[in-house]
Structure 1
Amino acid sequence: MGRTPIASSPAPEAAIQIPTRRSEKPRRSRPPRPPPPPPEPSKWVAWLSPTIIFINIALFLVAMYLNNCPSHSHTCIGASFLGRFSFQGIHENPLLGPSATTLLELGAMDVKKVVEGGEAWRLVTCMWLHAGVFHVLANMLSFVFVGFRMEEEFGFARLGGVYVISGIGGSLASSLYVRTTISVGASGALFGLLGAMLSELIINWSIYENKVQSLMSLLLIILVNLAVGILPHVDNFAHLGGFLTGFMLGFVLMIRPQYGYINKKKMPDYIASSAKSKSKPKYKPSQCIMLIVALVILITGFTTGLTMLLKGVNGNDHCSWCHYLSCVPSPLWTCQARCTSSQYENRVQLTCMQNRKSQIYTLNNGTTAVPIQQLCAELCG
Structure 2
Amino acid sequence: MANEDLESRRAGKDGRNYPYAAANTPYYYETTERKSTSWAIPSFVTANIAVFIVTMYINNCPNNRQTNGECVARFLGRFSFQPLRQNPLFGPSSSSLEKLGALEWNKVVHEHQGWRLITAMWLHAGVIHLLANMFSLVFIGIRLEQQFGFVRIGTIYLISGFGGSVLSSLFIRNSISVGASGALFGLLGAMLSELLTNWTIYSNKAAALLTLVIIIVINLAVGILPHVDNFAHIGGFLSGFLLGFVFLVRPQFGWMDRHNLPPEVRVKSKYKAYQYILWLTAVVLLIVGYAVGLVMLFRGENGNDHCHWCHYLSCVPTSSWSCRN
Amino acid at match of 1:312: G
In structure 2, list runs of 5 or more residues that go unmatched: 1-18, 20-31
Residues 62 and 71 in structure 2, CA contact (< 8 A), matched pair in contact too: no
User: The residue matched to 2:253 in structure 1 has which SS?
Assistant: coil
Distance verdict in 2 for CA 1:275–1:118, change over 3 Å = farther
Partner of 2:6: none
Query: SS of 1:109's equivalent?
Result: coil
Residues 161, 182 of structure 2: 8 Å contact kept: yes
Match of 1:143 in 2: 137
Give the percent of matched residue pairs that are identical in Structure 1 and Structure 2.
57
Query: Does 2:310 align with 1:326?
Result: no
Partner of 2:41: 49
Shift of 1:135: 0.5
Q: State whether residues 233 and 336 of structure 1, in contact with CA within 8 Å, keep that contact through their aligned partners in structure 2.
A: no
Conserved 8 A contact 1:195-1:243 = yes
CA distance in 2 between partners of 1:248 and 1:288 (Å)? 13
- Of the three residues 246, 250, 256, the one matched with 2:250 is 256
Give the counterpart of 1:308 among 296, 300, 322: 296
Return the letter of the residue paired with 2:49: I
Q: Is 1:242 aligned to 2:236, yes or no?
A: yes
Greater relative contact order (Cα < 8 A, sep 6+) = 2
Query: What CA distance in whole angstroms lies between the structure 2 residues aligned with 1:190 and 1:111?
Result: 22
CA RMSD of aligned residues (A): 1.9
Is contact 1:166-1:243 (8 Å) kept? yes
| Residues 1-381 of structure 1: pairs in structure 2 closer than 5 A | 41-72=33-64, 73-78=67-72, 80-262=74-256, 275=263, 278-337=266-325
Matches of 1:100 and 1:277 in 2, distance apart?
62
Q: Which amino acid aligns with 1:316?
A: N
- The structure that has the greater radius of gyration is 1
Give the deviation of 1:70 after TM superposition. Answer: 0.8
**AA at the equivalent of 2:43:** T
TM-score when normalising by structure 2: 0.86
Cα distance, 1:102 vs structure 2: 1.2
Matched-pair contact (CA < 8 Å) for 2:72–2:83: no
TM norm structure 1: 0.74
Structure 1 residue runs of 4+, over 6 Å off? Answer: none
Counterpart Cα distance in 1 of 2:257 and 2:33: 15
Task: Give the Cα separation in 1 of the matches to 2:37 and 2:164.
Answer: 28
Alpha-carbon distance in structure 1 between the residues aligned to 2:265 and 2:227 = 60
| Distance (whole Å) between structure 1 residues aligned to residue 74 and residue 170 of structure 2 | 41
Residues 237-281 of structure 1, C-alpha deviation per residue, up to 9 Å, x if partnerless? 0000100000000000000111211587xx6xxx99x84983330
Q: Secondary structure at the match of 1:92?
A: coil
Give distance in 2, aligned partners of 1:144 and 1:335.
32
Aligned residues: 293
Q: Residues 72 and 84 of structure 2 are in contact (CA less than 8 Å); yes or no, is this contact kept in structure 1?
A: no
CA contact (8 A) 1:75 1:89 kept: no
Q: Which runs of 5+ in 1 are unaligned?
A: 1-36, 338-381
Q: Distance in 1 between matches of 2:314 and 2:72?
A: 33
Contact 2:90–2:127, Cα closer than 8 Å, also in 1: yes
* Counterpart amino acid of residue 203 in structure 1: T
Q: Deviations over 1:223-243 (max 9, x none)?
A: 000000011111100000100
